[in-house]
Structure 1
Amino acid sequence: MNGRGELAALAAAGLWAIASVLYGIVGQQIPPLRLNVIKGIVAIALLIFTILLTGESLSTSAPQSILLLCLSGVIGISWGDTAFLGALNYLGARRVLLIGTLSPPMTAILAMIWLQETLNLTDWCGIMITTLGVAWVVTERVPGSSLDVANLWKGISLGLLAAIANAISTVISRVAFSTGSVSSLWAALLRLGAAELILLAWLCLPNRQPETLSSSGRVTSRVIFATCFAAFCGTYLGIWLQQTAIKFTAAGIASTLLQTSPLFVIPIAVCIGEKVSWRAIAGVIIAIIGIALLFFA
């Protein structure tokens, strides 16, 4: 089991990097709440198909674990992901991912309070170095990027909400795994299923304020394909791997590695022809040192 959770977290971060780029594009045509519902439906269908294919059964010996995973999904996916997608429209991926670096320390502290998970000095050093490396990458100034004050504060508020929801839901999932024997695959389905029910109810509210987009656009077949592919990478595979990481490693370590998505955005940028600065490369090297400390602590 050694290293299994850490590898799953890094794989999830890589997939989320791909999904974040795609969601940042399709989010200009599909409002955040509706986009969250669509990606959830696609991922749930894929998870059900996978469960039927593998014949994996749900252990009902610990109903508390099932309820906790459902609660984790409501907080982390229905609230957190909707806030994250909204923040992307206001701030862009780089700034939102910077705010997300607050999540690992919050997760580690909450895990210490709720789970009595104690991290040694090397673990804490690894968390801080990795977080600093990611922050160094995403704080690089992008030429020509500017925001008005109203959008800035809306984006920051939504980004903070997403980071807090992510920290709380990670710890709740960790509690669920420590009190029952639910598999990572079923955990992903339970979390998504509960979140989807809340999101659908939210959409059906009669007095719900209509969602607005930063730019208008027609939903084309390319947008639909990109949304489905992002849901496959970031929601289906990403959440499955996320739950595997939370199950097999400490909550603070899992959260830190799951927040390394900006590092994986850099090779994507290179592939699409963007210029990568030495600062970004230095940030990656710093983060890799932190990741190594987490693996070998």
Structure 2
Amino acid sequence: MAYFGEIAALLTAVFWTVTSMAFESAGKKVGSLAVNLIRLVIAFFIYAVYTQVTRGMWFPFDASAESWMWLMLSGLVGFVIGDLLLFQAFVIIGARISMLIMAMTPPFTAFISYFMLGEVLSPMNWLGMAVTLAGISMVILKRENKSLQGEEAIRRRLTSAYSLPGILLALGGALGQAAGLVLSKKGMGDYNAFAASQIRVLTGIVGFAVLIFVLKRYGRVWGALKNTSAMKRITLGSFFGPFLGVSFSLLSIQHTKAGISATIMSIVPVLIIPPAILIFKEKVNWKEIAGAAVTVLGVAIFFL
């Protein structure tokens, strides 16, 4: 099927839009660490049921040792380390600047895949990437509606927004996501994408479980399990994120270049705009609308 990889990447972005809203809501109720662990555990069992039905095997017993090695490394780098760095960047420099820096994931992916996989993007691919990232930047860098009090408040705001440690943490998050994609492609080969995702998810479970044990946050996990409202959102997010989203991202990189996949999948901040208007009744300015149009144009270039 022509453009199967690109279409899979678009669907991935749609799935991640749903899961980001579900996890944001759940995270505010029970904390992000608890959400991260529970979502992966739920996703693991969804994978087990799905692969048992489709492959007659609830666990990836048929994966080679080499596939296990690369996919586990991918899960550790992408799911655990990358997410941890990004969440800390949110604390230091805020979500908006962090998300802008995360838009560096596609070029990072293209760069890493060139050295690890020998993938070379065409001039048209680079143009599509540049236009897409420009559109995403226009959306993310909208002005805050809240006015700051006095010059000192503005100075503090600007200082924290461009903190070097915060910028480096966000860059680390982008690198983690990019490296995770490329490592997945290297370890997966022609292997089943859903089974490969299950290996990554299993690694993420172990990583977050160790982290929660070390930080002694297990009480929050138990509290989250008893929160019915949060669990509904985590379950919804687990189906669309770690299950459908991650699997389709691997299907995408199986059928097209990793840099192209990463660019198309990075349009999530733009896709969130319609539900933000319709569901949360948020007001959207002209800059966000223009950014969305530019992003769609950039994605369209990949299909030319």
**TM-score interval (norm. to shorter):** 0.7 to 0.9
Q: For 1:84-163, list aligned pairs within 5 A.
A: 84-88=86-90, 93-144=95-146, 153=163, 156-163=167-174
Q: For 1:230-241, list aligned pairs within 5 A.
A: 230-241=237-248
- 1:276 and 2:291 are equivalent in the alignment: no
Contact 1:36 1:78 in 2 (8 A): no
Moved more, 30-39 or 188-197: 30-39
Distance 1:252 1:36, change over 3 A: same
What number of residue pairs does the alignment pair up?
288
Q: Distance in 1 between matches of 2:193 and 2:286?
A: 38
Distance 1:150 1:97, change over 3 A: closer
Map of 1:246 onto structure 2: 253
1:140 alignment partner, SS class:
coil
- 1:176 and 2:183 are equivalent in the alignment: no
Structure 1, residues 119-144: CA drift from partner, whole Å, max 9, x if none? 11000101111111111111111312
Distance 1:13 1:92, change over 3 A: farther
The CA RMSD measured in Å over matched residues stands at 2.7
Structure 1, residues 47-104: CA drift from partner, whole Å, max 9, x if none? 1111112125547474312211111011101122233345456666544322210110
Q: CA deviation at 1:34?
A: 2.3
2:78 alignment partner, SS class:
helix
Q: CA deviation at 1:24?
A: 2.5
Q: CA deviation at 1:173?
A: 1.1
Structure 1 residue runs of 5 or longer lacking an equivalent are: none
Q: Distance in 2 between matches of 1:218 and 1:13?
A: 28
Give the residue type in structure 2 aligned to 1:117: E
Map of 2:48 onto structure 1: 48
Q: Distance in 2 between matches of 1:16 and 1:281?
A: 20
Contact 2:43 2:238 in 1 (8 A): yes
Q: Distance in 2 between matches of 1:271 and 1:162?
A: 30
Structure 2 residue runs of 5 or longer lacking an equivalent are: 149-155
Map of 2:151 onto structure 1: none
| Structure with larger Rg | 2
Moved more, 84-93 or 260-269: 84-93
Distance 1:284 1:62, change over 3 A: same
Q: Distance in 2 between matches of 1:151 and 1:224?
A: 33
Contact 2:10 2:265 in 1 (8 A): yes
Moved more, 183-192 or 169-178: 169-178
Contact 2:97 2:161 in 1 (8 A): no
Distance 1:9 1:152, change over 3 A: same
- Structure with the larger helix share: 2
Give the residue type in structure 1 aligned to 2:43: A
Map of 1:285 onto structure 2: 293
Q: For 1:201-212, list aligned pairs within 5 A.
A: 201-205=210-214, 208=215
Map of 2:153 onto structure 1: none
Map of 1:65 onto structure 2: 67
- Identity among equivalent positions (%) equals 27
Q: CA deviation at 1:280?
A: 1.1
Contact 2:5 2:253 in 1 (8 A): yes
Give the residue type in structure 2 aligned to 1:251: A
Q: Distance in 2 between matches of 1:245 and 1:292?
A: 16
Q: TM-score when scaled to structure 1?
A: 0.87
Structure 1, residues 11-51: CA drift from partner, whole Å, max 9, x if none? 11112122222322322333332221111111111111111
